């Protein structure tokens, strides 16, 4: 009888806890977490974006589902996707959360200094040589603003992925985007180590590179990078051959320094190494002048006080031209 009473007591306690969940007012941060999980495609990605543990996010969503009395997410070992109820809630939730964030951010206009977070998605070279140095100085001027830079060469939907802005090479942008030049015009440099050149000789023209071991680069989408050259109005484009294929400029530079082949890199990556004699620049008279990086952001989205300060800081920059 004692065991039966204890079991009855546990059942009643569990029912009271569930009742308490149902009666609690829903927390705004739980609803934001739910939106993050769907946007990021899983608990782990949402946790990384939030800087918390996956288990904490999972527990918060479970409490939210318990309070609502309905499942919002279908969970498998490989993916997380909203249920029909989750989709319906999300459809109505997004505009409401947007209005709440806008209202809160509008209060920042009354502050003496902007605050908040600016999230930017940028290819590695742009982040390394333009965006990061710019952000470091900006944060000294605006100590209440947080900056998050995610290096990613893939073309993404910055709005869907929760970024305030993105960086793209050149000014080819999606519809409804506003763009600002970010840094000076760019040029590629062809380099190889002295050791490689002793073994394989030095190319005299771009097409000579077809007989060399070039360090190739593959974009995230699978496309192989071609090398373009220009001299006195003549343009040459080659598809390099080589045994080594990599996915980042840092890897290419390391390979060139190790004597693994000829590399095709932005000048910013190799300038110091050329000056110190670690690599030798080739075909310098064939350099093609390229557009700058562009920072772009959606024209129809509310711009936060922090983002407005960041955009104004970029507009006030005076980019020094590249060396000729």
Per-residue pLDDT tens digits of the chain, which is 324 residues long: 454 554 454 445 444 444 444 445 566 777 888 888 888 778 887 777 677 788 888 888 888 888 888 888 888 767 788 888 888 888 888 777 777 777 766 666 655 578 888 999 998 889 998 999 999 999 999 999 999 999 887 778 888 788 899 998 766 666 678 888 898 888 999 999 999 999 999 999 999 999 999 999 998 778 899 999 999 889 999 999 999 999 889 999 999 999 999 999 999 899 999 999 999 999 999 988 888 899 999 876 667 888 989 999 999 988 755 544
Show the tokens assigned to 223: 């496309």
Q: At what angle do helices 305-315 and 132-141 cross, to 10 degrees?
A: 120
Q: The tokens of 50 are what? A: 């939030």
Q: What is the pTM of this model?
A: 0.63
CB 251 within 8 A of CB 124: no
Tokens 């064939």 belong to: 286
Q: Among residues 109, 110, 112, 103, which one has the least CA distance to residue 143?
A: 112
Strand locations in the chain (E): 73-75, 80-82, 116-122, 145-151, 165-169, 177-182, 186-192, 215-217, 227-231, 234-238, 244-246, 263-266, 280-282, 289-290, 293-298
User: What region, left, alpha or beta, does residue 253 occupy, with left being phi > 0 and alpha being psi -120 to 50 degrees?
Assistant: alpha
């Amino acid at each position: 009888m004692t065991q039966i009473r204890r079991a009855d007591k546990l059942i009643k306690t569990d029912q009271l806890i569930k009742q308490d969940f149902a009666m609690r007012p829903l927390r705004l941060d739980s609803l934001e977490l739910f939106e993050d999980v769907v946007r990021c495609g899983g608990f782990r990605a949402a946790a990384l974006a939030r800087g918390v543990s996956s288990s904490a996010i999972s527990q918060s969503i479970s409490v939210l589902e318990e309070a609502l009395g309905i499942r919002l997410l279908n969970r498998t070992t490989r993916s997380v996707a909203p249920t029909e109820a989750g989709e319906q809630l999300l459809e109505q939730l997004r505009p409401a959360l947007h209005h709440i964030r806008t209202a809160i951010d509008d209060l920042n206009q009354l502050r003496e200094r902007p605050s908040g977070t600016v999230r930017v998605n940028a290819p590695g070279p742009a982040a390394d040589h333009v965006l990061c140095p710019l952000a470091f100085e900006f944060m000294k001027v605006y100590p209440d603003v947080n900056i998050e830079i995610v290096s990613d060469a893939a073309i993404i939907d910055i709005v869907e992925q929760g970024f305030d802005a993105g960086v793209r090479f050149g000014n080819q942008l999606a519809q409804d985007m506003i763009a600002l030049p970010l840094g000076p015009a760019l040029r590629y440099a062809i380099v190889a180590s002295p050791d490689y050149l002793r073994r394989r000789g030095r190319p005299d023209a771009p097409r000579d590179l077809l007989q060399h071991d070039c360090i190739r680069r593959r974009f995230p989408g699978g496309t192989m990078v071609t090398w373009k050259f220009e001299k006195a109005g003549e343009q040459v484009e080659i598809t390099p051959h080589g045994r080594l294929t990599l996915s980042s400029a840092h890897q290419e530079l390391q390979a060139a320094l190790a004597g693994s082949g000829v590399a095709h890199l932005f000048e910013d990556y190799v300038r110091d190494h050329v000056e110190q004699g670690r690599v030798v620049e080739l075909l310098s008279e064939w350099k093609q002048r390229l557009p700058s990086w562009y920072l772009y952001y959606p024209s129809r989205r509310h711009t936060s006080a922090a983002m407005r300060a960041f955009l104004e800081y970029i507009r006030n920059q005076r980019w020094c031209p590249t060396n000729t």
